[in-house]
Structure 1
Amino acid sequence: MRTALTDLVGVEHPVVQTGMGWVAGPRLVTATAEAGALGILGSATMTPGQLRAAVREVRSRTNRPFGVNLRADAGDAGERVRILVEEGVPVASFALAPSRELIARLKDAGIVVIPSVGARRHAEKVAAWGADAVVVQGGEGGGHTGRVATSVLLPQVVDAVGVPVVAAGGFHDGRGLVAALAYGACGIAMGTRFLLTSDSTVPDAVKAAYLAASVTDVTVTTKVDGIPHRVLRTPFVAALERAGPVGTFLRALRHAAAFRGLSGLSVSRMLRDGLAMRRGGRLTWGQVLLAANTPVLLRAAMVDGRTDLGVLSAGQVAGVIEDLPSCGELVGRVMAEADEVLRRLAGG
């Protein structure tokens, strides 16, 4: 299936595996790329050295296109962009709107820039700054999310910008791909569906928790890091929501210290990153401090397998996913379903 996305990034199928922290490492990205879709490394939880090593590992395993997701508000964003340029990474994606300068640096190096957005105004801004395409995520998506459903937000963005639009939030099969195409998108991006594959390194106990969830077991909370975060409803999340302000503050301090150890960041670098987050996202200092919760609590689940002490980011589609195919099987199934739906719609 040829679309503006396949033409832009050189993949076979208009399917993107999103850059999930602690999840989208070289193994998952390579498997996705070999399946003919666009795999994206989640670099926000990597040090610059780990990022370079991960890129080189993917390069050693596949000669197909792949991408790297960057945090636009990170204090070392410029250094990470330099790594992408030096290593010849084909695609850069962003969880937040990158600056005009970062976009220009990447484009000057021949790298395709695809920011993720959750609102029409953000899509308009990055498109005006030169982004090659945008991923638009509706409220059904996992992790940090907005309130507007994909079915409303997607056509709004498609009508507002003149660059290719990739749909995210609520997609897991070929029917969803056809629906996204009907709305004007050029492909779909999936996180939870790729997390729940046999190629994902997420521990089996965590995958089992996702597979056992119903659609009503996925909730949005602000107690993880101060901003809306879609996660699985677990006893641990319920405990976070019951915690008072003092307990929340002390927990955030502990996790900030833990994140400093994991990331190798200095106190001054963390403060600079906090200032950038506060300016870019208009967050309070309390929310900036809580932001340290996210990587630590996600790591507890996605790496250590602690469903009792970790947070499981999840799109609402977690409630309808029932198996763990390989990436190759998943992408093949999505495309076969899409072809079948299109034939049926055409009366074939």
Structure 2
Amino acid sequence: MSRINTALTRLLGINTPVISAPMAGASGGKLAGEVSAGGGFGFIGASYRTVQQLQEELLLARSVLQLQNEPTASLPIGAGYIVWQLEKVGKEVLSVALEQRVQAVWFAFGDNIGSWVRYVREYDSQPGRNHKTLVFVQVGSVEDALVAMTDWKVDVIVAQGNEAGGHGFASSPPLLTLVPSILAVVPKNGPLVIAAGGLSGGNHVASILALGAAGVVLGTRFLLTPESQYQDVQKKAIIAAKANSTVRTMTFDRVRGTLGWPEGVDGRALYNDTVKDLDAGVDFQVVKEKFDDGVRREDPDRFLAWAGTGASLMSEIKGAKDIVRELHDDAIANLKAASELISDK
């Protein structure tokens, strides 16, 4: 397999500058391991797991990558954390990932991200540790990127545009605005900048690389894999999505009671009657009861399916390793086609 040579592929030792997002309830060890085995880099969504559950997912990833007999070897996947949730459950759920020598951790959504970055650095500085964990931090603005770079000295800045599925800052600009804005303030010797939000195919990968980013993050595309922990009915709902099927909302956090997000954060999901009813002023308790019943009945008009704006461009469920290779090949084809636009005549 050829290599797309970017600062990200060199940093991680991978062939393809494609990362699967750490999606809560969807990104487990099987998915992360298969993405990494395919030449990309996979993250486990760690935030809502117990220490034991995360340990099991990490061991599963190690098995997928055929490292089960090398417990002290670096594990070429990452673990992603929602910081306000991490602070509720405690540092042990982070420590277990560090003990397993994950190659990277990802922090997002919290007022004390810097303290967790320091925790990772201090953990790695222990005598005999001999392992550096790369730190990714997700941002939605130039201001947050500057803090991540200057104050926290992170390794990778994840620029998340408004198009992204799942949680993000409602005020984040579109990706094609956000990425150049952040790149304009990050020096060449600064942290890498990668892009997330609404991306679906190799043409998107090529376009983001052409903007100057070192790599891309895809979430929704990796929901549509056998390895994803999303339910089949959720996957089918995403495949049926149209161009205007997603919406940014806090409705699903309200009905599920998953509140605690920093100010300005909401989530992008498939629009359905749960959102419609709450927006129309239907009594909250009625909406919640219908949502809970819809989850039990697997009703797409009621249940939650996080998804980005690129969902309408996805039409099939495919293995994670195959998706990485398809993205790789298509990105190369698009980069080569773009180069043919240049002429000396």
Tell whether the structures are fold-level matches, with TM greater than 0.5. Answer: yes
Question: Residue 12 of structure 1: SS of its match in structure 2?
Answer: coil
Counterpart CA distance in 1 for 2:37 and 2:82 is 26
1:228 to 2:273 alignment: no
Which of residues 240, 248, 252 in structure 1 aligns to 2:278?
240
Kindly indicate whether residue 73 of structure 2 is the aligned counterpart of residue 56 of structure 1: no
Distance 2:228 2:138 in 1: 22
Match of 1:66 in 2: 77
Distance in 1 (alpha carbons) for counterparts of 2:50 and 2:226: 26
Matched, 1:31 2:25: no
Q: What TM-score does the superposition give when structure 2 sets the normalisation length?
A: 0.80
Unaligned 5+ runs, structure 1: 255-292
What residue in structure 1 maps to residue 212 of structure 2? 184
- Match of 2:326? 333
The answer to which of 60-69 and 15-24 deviates more is 60-69
Cα distance in structure 2, aligned partners of 1:203 and 1:68: 21
Specify which of 153, 164, 189 is matched with residue 178 of structure 2. 153
Let me know the Cα RMSD of the aligned residues.
Answer: 2.6
Q: Does the C-alpha gap of structure 1 residues 311 and 94 become closer, same or farther in structure 2, counting only changes over 3 Å?
A: same
Distance 1:307 1:45 in 2: 23
**Alpha-carbon distance in structure 2 between the residues aligned to 1:118 and 1:79:** 28
For residues 200 and 222 of structure 1, what CA distance do their matches in structure 2 show?
24
Q: How many residues align?
A: 302
Asked if the contact 2:137–2:158 (Cα under 8 Å) also holds between the matched residues in 1, the reply is: yes
Which one-letter code corresponds to 1:173 in the other structure? G
Which residue matches 2:259? none
Q: Are the aligned partners of 2:202 and 2:329 in contact in 1 as well (CA < 8 Å)?
A: yes
The answer as to whether partners of 1:196 and 1:207 remain within 8 angstroms in 2 is yes
Partner residue, 1:342: 335
Residues 269-299 of structure 1, C-alpha deviations (whole Å, 9 max, x = no match): xxxxxxxxxxxxxxxxxxxxxxxx9xx999x
**1:43 and 2:46 correspond:** yes
Q: Secondary structure at the match of 2:221?
A: helix
Q: Indicate which of 119, 122, 127 corresponds to 2:144.
A: 122
CA distance in 2, matches of 1:131, 1:339: 29
Q: Which moved more, 1:237-246 or 1:83-92?
A: 237-246
Counterpart position of 1:131: 154
User: How far has the Cα of 1:310 moved from its partner?
Assistant: 2.2
SS at match of 2:158: strand
The equivalent of 1:324 in structure 2 is 317
Task: Look up the match of 1:310.
Answer: 303
Provide the rounded CA distance (Å) in 2 between the counterparts of 1:217 and 1:51.
33
Question: Within 1, Cα distance between the matches of 2:251 and 2:281?
Answer: 9
| Secondary structure at the counterpart of residue 310 of structure 1 | coil
Counterparts in 2 of 1:206-221, with a 5 A limit? 206-221=234-249
TM-score (normalised: structure 1): 0.79
Gaps of 5+ in 2: 68-74, 125-131, 255-264
Give the conservation status (yes or no) of the 8 Å contact 1:206–1:306: no
Distance 1:326 1:246, change over 3 A: closer
Give the drift of 1:2. Answer: 1.8
1:314 CA displacement: 0.7
3-state DSSP of counterpart to 1:198? coil
SS at match of 2:337: helix
**Quick one: distance in 1 between partners of 2:114 and 2:80?**
17
